[in-house]
Amino acid sequence: MADDQYKARMQRKKEHIDNRIEEANIDKGIIVLLTGNGKGKSSSSLGMVCRALGYDMKVGIAKFLKGVQDTGEDAFLAKQPNVQTAFMKTGFTWDTQDKAYDTAMAVETWSKAQSYLEDKSIDLVVLDELTYMISYKYLDEQQILDALNNRPKDQHVVITGRAAADSLIEIADTVSEVKDIKHAFRANIKAQKGVDL
Protein backbone atom coordinates (compact mmCIF):
# COMPACT_ATOMS: atom_id res chain seq x y z
CA MET A 1 0.00 0.00 0.00
CA ALA A 2 1.31 3.47 -0.93
CA ASP A 3 2.44 5.66 1.97
CA ASP A 4 -0.23 8.35 1.37
CA GLN A 5 -2.98 5.70 1.19
CA TYR A 6 -1.77 4.18 4.46
CA LYS A 7 -1.68 7.62 6.11
CA ALA A 8 -5.25 8.42 4.97
CA ARG A 9 -6.49 5.07 6.29
CA MET A 10 -4.84 5.57 9.68
CA GLN A 11 -6.23 9.12 9.84
CA ARG A 12 -9.79 7.80 9.28
CA LYS A 13 -9.20 5.13 11.89
CA LYS A 14 -7.93 7.68 14.40
CA GLU A 15 -10.97 9.94 13.77
CA HIS A 16 -13.29 6.99 14.34
CA ILE A 17 -11.53 5.98 17.58
CA ASP A 18 -11.41 9.59 18.85
CA ASN A 19 -15.17 9.93 18.20
CA ARG A 20 -15.91 6.70 20.05
CA ILE A 21 -13.77 7.85 23.00
CA GLU A 22 -15.61 11.18 23.10
CA GLU A 23 -19.00 9.43 23.04
CA ALA A 24 -18.03 7.18 25.97
CA ASN A 25 -18.46 9.86 28.61
CA ILE A 26 -20.40 7.95 31.29
CA ASP A 27 -18.61 7.36 34.59
CA LYS A 28 -20.09 4.59 36.74
CA GLY A 29 -19.33 1.43 38.64
CA ILE A 30 -19.38 -1.53 36.26
CA ILE A 31 -19.84 -5.27 36.63
CA VAL A 32 -17.30 -7.44 34.80
CA LEU A 33 -18.19 -11.10 34.40
CA LEU A 34 -15.44 -13.56 33.47
CA THR A 35 -16.75 -16.97 32.56
CA GLY A 36 -15.93 -19.97 30.32
CA ASN A 37 -13.90 -23.16 30.70
CA GLY A 38 -10.42 -21.83 29.95
CA LYS A 39 -7.75 -20.75 32.42
CA GLY A 40 -7.49 -17.06 33.25
CA LYS A 41 -10.66 -15.89 35.00
CA SER A 42 -9.52 -15.55 38.62
CA SER A 43 -6.05 -14.39 37.61
CA SER A 44 -7.62 -11.69 35.42
CA SER A 45 -9.72 -10.49 38.37
CA LEU A 46 -6.46 -10.16 40.34
CA GLY A 47 -5.08 -8.04 37.53
CA MET A 48 -7.96 -5.64 38.19
CA VAL A 49 -7.16 -5.73 41.92
CA CYS A 50 -3.59 -4.76 41.03
CA ARG A 51 -4.83 -1.85 38.92
CA ALA A 52 -7.15 -0.63 41.67
CA LEU A 53 -4.48 -0.86 44.38
CA GLY A 54 -2.16 1.17 42.17
CA TYR A 55 -4.64 4.04 42.55
CA ASP A 56 -4.94 3.47 46.33
CA MET A 57 -8.49 2.21 45.82
CA LYS A 58 -10.05 -0.09 48.42
CA VAL A 59 -10.82 -3.67 47.48
CA GLY A 60 -13.03 -6.39 48.98
CA ILE A 61 -12.46 -9.96 47.81
CA ALA A 62 -14.83 -12.84 48.50
CA LYS A 63 -13.59 -16.22 47.29
CA PHE A 64 -16.27 -18.85 47.03
CA LEU A 65 -15.18 -22.49 46.65
CA LYS A 66 -11.68 -21.65 47.78
CA GLY A 67 -9.30 -24.52 47.07
CA VAL A 68 -7.76 -26.34 50.03
CA GLN A 69 -4.31 -25.15 49.01
CA ASP A 70 -3.18 -21.59 49.81
CA THR A 71 -2.20 -19.58 46.77
CA GLY A 72 0.45 -16.99 46.01
CA GLU A 73 -2.21 -14.31 45.81
CA ASP A 74 -3.53 -15.19 49.29
CA ALA A 75 -0.05 -14.46 50.69
CA PHE A 76 0.20 -11.26 48.65
CA LEU A 77 -3.29 -10.01 49.52
CA ALA A 78 -2.77 -10.62 53.26
CA LYS A 79 -0.03 -7.97 53.13
CA GLN A 80 -2.20 -5.32 51.43
CA PRO A 81 -3.66 -2.75 53.83
CA ASN A 82 -6.34 -1.74 51.28
CA VAL A 83 -7.66 -5.27 50.81
CA GLN A 84 -10.33 -7.05 52.85
CA THR A 85 -10.93 -10.74 52.24
CA ALA A 86 -13.60 -13.32 52.94
CA PHE A 87 -12.60 -16.87 52.03
CA MET A 88 -15.04 -19.75 52.08
CA LYS A 89 -13.36 -22.21 54.40
CA THR A 90 -14.07 -25.20 52.26
CA GLY A 91 -12.52 -26.94 49.30
CA PHE A 92 -14.40 -27.83 46.16
CA THR A 93 -17.70 -29.57 46.56
CA TRP A 94 -16.16 -32.83 45.30
CA ASP A 95 -13.74 -32.58 48.25
CA THR A 96 -16.27 -31.96 51.01
CA GLN A 97 -19.21 -33.94 49.55
CA ASP A 98 -21.41 -32.33 52.19
CA LYS A 99 -24.05 -30.00 50.79
CA ALA A 100 -25.38 -28.72 54.12
CA TYR A 101 -21.88 -27.77 55.27
CA ASP A 102 -21.00 -26.16 51.91
CA THR A 103 -24.25 -24.18 51.96
CA ALA A 104 -23.58 -22.87 55.48
CA MET A 105 -20.06 -21.82 54.44
CA ALA A 106 -21.40 -20.19 51.26
CA VAL A 107 -23.98 -18.20 53.24
CA GLU A 108 -21.33 -17.04 55.70
CA THR A 109 -18.99 -15.89 52.90
CA TRP A 110 -21.89 -14.25 51.08
CA SER A 111 -22.80 -12.20 54.16
CA LYS A 112 -19.29 -10.68 54.08
CA ALA A 113 -19.51 -10.16 50.32
CA GLN A 114 -22.84 -8.43 50.85
CA SER A 115 -21.29 -6.11 53.42
CA TYR A 116 -18.67 -5.12 50.80
CA LEU A 117 -21.50 -4.44 48.33
CA GLU A 118 -23.07 -2.08 50.88
CA ASP A 119 -19.83 -0.28 51.73
CA LYS A 120 -19.29 3.00 49.85
CA SER A 121 -15.62 3.07 50.85
CA ILE A 122 -14.92 -0.13 48.86
CA ASP A 123 -14.17 0.70 45.23
CA LEU A 124 -13.80 -2.80 43.79
CA VAL A 125 -15.46 -6.03 44.90
CA VAL A 126 -14.23 -9.39 43.61
CA LEU A 127 -16.71 -12.26 43.79
CA ASP A 128 -14.46 -15.14 42.79
CA GLU A 129 -16.24 -18.37 41.70
CA LEU A 130 -19.64 -16.87 42.53
CA THR A 131 -21.27 -18.47 39.46
CA TYR A 132 -21.25 -21.90 41.14
CA MET A 133 -23.13 -20.57 44.16
CA ILE A 134 -26.07 -19.94 41.84
CA SER A 135 -25.76 -23.09 39.72
CA TYR A 136 -25.45 -25.38 42.77
CA LYS A 137 -28.20 -23.36 44.54
CA TYR A 138 -26.01 -22.67 47.57
CA LEU A 139 -27.17 -19.06 47.51
CA ASP A 140 -30.37 -17.32 46.55
CA GLU A 141 -30.03 -15.92 43.03
CA GLN A 142 -32.42 -13.01 43.61
CA GLN A 143 -30.60 -11.97 46.78
CA ILE A 144 -27.36 -11.78 44.79
CA LEU A 145 -28.97 -9.75 42.00
CA ASP A 146 -30.56 -7.35 44.51
CA ALA A 147 -27.24 -6.78 46.28
CA LEU A 148 -25.53 -6.10 42.93
CA ASN A 149 -28.29 -3.74 41.81
CA ASN A 150 -28.32 -1.81 45.09
CA ARG A 151 -24.57 -1.40 45.50
CA PRO A 152 -22.96 2.09 45.63
CA LYS A 153 -23.17 3.61 42.15
CA ASP A 154 -19.41 4.03 41.66
CA GLN A 155 -18.44 0.60 42.95
CA HIS A 156 -16.96 -1.88 40.45
CA VAL A 157 -17.54 -5.62 40.71
CA VAL A 158 -15.81 -8.54 39.05
CA ILE A 159 -17.45 -11.95 39.10
CA THR A 160 -15.67 -15.13 37.99
CA GLY A 161 -16.63 -18.75 37.43
CA ARG A 162 -17.69 -21.19 34.73
CA ALA A 163 -21.22 -21.49 33.33
CA ALA A 164 -22.54 -18.11 34.47
CA ALA A 165 -26.32 -17.91 34.90
CA ASP A 166 -28.17 -15.82 32.28
CA SER A 167 -29.18 -13.41 35.04
CA LEU A 168 -25.51 -12.61 35.73
CA ILE A 169 -24.79 -12.12 32.03
CA GLU A 170 -27.75 -9.74 31.88
CA ILE A 171 -26.76 -7.67 34.91
CA ALA A 172 -23.07 -7.42 33.89
CA ASP A 173 -21.76 -4.55 31.77
CA THR A 174 -18.77 -6.45 30.41
CA VAL A 175 -18.81 -10.21 29.86
CA SER A 176 -15.88 -12.28 28.62
CA GLU A 177 -15.81 -15.98 27.98
CA VAL A 178 -12.37 -17.59 28.34
CA LYS A 179 -12.22 -20.49 25.90
CA ASP A 180 -10.27 -23.65 26.78
CA ILE A 181 -8.01 -24.50 23.87
CA LYS A 182 -5.23 -26.31 25.74
CA HIS A 183 -4.30 -26.76 29.40
CA ALA A 184 -0.98 -28.04 30.76
CA PHE A 185 -2.82 -30.22 33.30
CA ARG A 186 -4.00 -32.48 30.49
CA ALA A 187 -0.34 -33.18 29.67
CA ASN A 188 0.05 -34.34 33.31
CA ILE A 189 1.82 -31.15 34.37
CA LYS A 190 0.82 -30.39 37.93
CA ALA A 191 -0.38 -26.98 39.11
CA GLN A 192 2.61 -24.63 39.13
CA LYS A 193 3.35 -21.88 41.68
CA GLY A 194 3.05 -18.44 40.14
CA VAL A 195 0.95 -19.79 37.29
CA ASP A 196 -1.91 -21.84 38.73
CA LEU A 197 -1.66 -21.05 42.45
CA–CA dist 110, 176 (Å, integer): 23
Of 71, 169, 73, 87, the C-alpha closest to 128 is 87
Q: Does 41 bind ligand ATP (CB under 6 A)?
A: yes
Piece in contact with Mg ion (CB under 5 A), picked from 24-32, 42-50, 88-96, 189-197: 42-50
With CB under 6 A as the contact rule, the residue among 11, 19, 37, 121 that binds ligand ATP is 37
- In the complex, least distance from residue 53 CB atom to Mg ion, rounded to whole angstroms: 19
- In the complex, least distance from residue 23 CB atom to ligand ATP, rounded to whole angstroms: 32
β-strand partners of 174: 32
CA–CA dist 127, 116 (Å, integer): 10
Q: Does 42 bind Mg ion (CB under 5 A)?
A: yes
Q: Does 183 bind ligand ATP (CB under 6 A)?
A: yes
Q: Which helix (H) or strand (E) holds 193?
A: none
Closest CB to ligand ATP among residues 171, 178: 178
Closest CB to ligand ATP among residues 68, 197: 197
- In the complex, least distance from residue 40 CB atom to ligand ATP, rounded to whole angstroms: 5
Q: Residue 154's binding partner, choosing from Mg ion, ligand ATP, none, with beta-carbon cut-off 5 to 8 A by kind?
A: none
Q: Residue 40's binding partner, choosing from ligand ATP, Mg ion, none, with beta-carbon cut-off 5 to 8 A by kind?
A: ligand ATP
Cα dihedral 94, 109, 48, 143 sign: positive
User: In a 3-state reduction of DSSP, which class is residue 126?
Assistant: strand
Closest CB to ligand ATP among residues 10, 195: 195
Piece in contact with Mg ion (CB under 5 A), picked from 38-46, 77-85, 106-114, 179-187: 38-46
Neighbour-count burial of 128, counting CB atoms closer than 10 A to its CB (0-12 exposed, 13-18 middle, 19+ buried)? buried
Q: Does 43 bind ligand ATP (CB under 6 A)?
A: yes
4-39 CB burial, b ≥16 within 10 A, e <16: eeeeeeeeeeeeeeeeeeeeeeeeeeebbbbbbeeb
Interaction site with Mg ion (CB under 5 A): 41-42
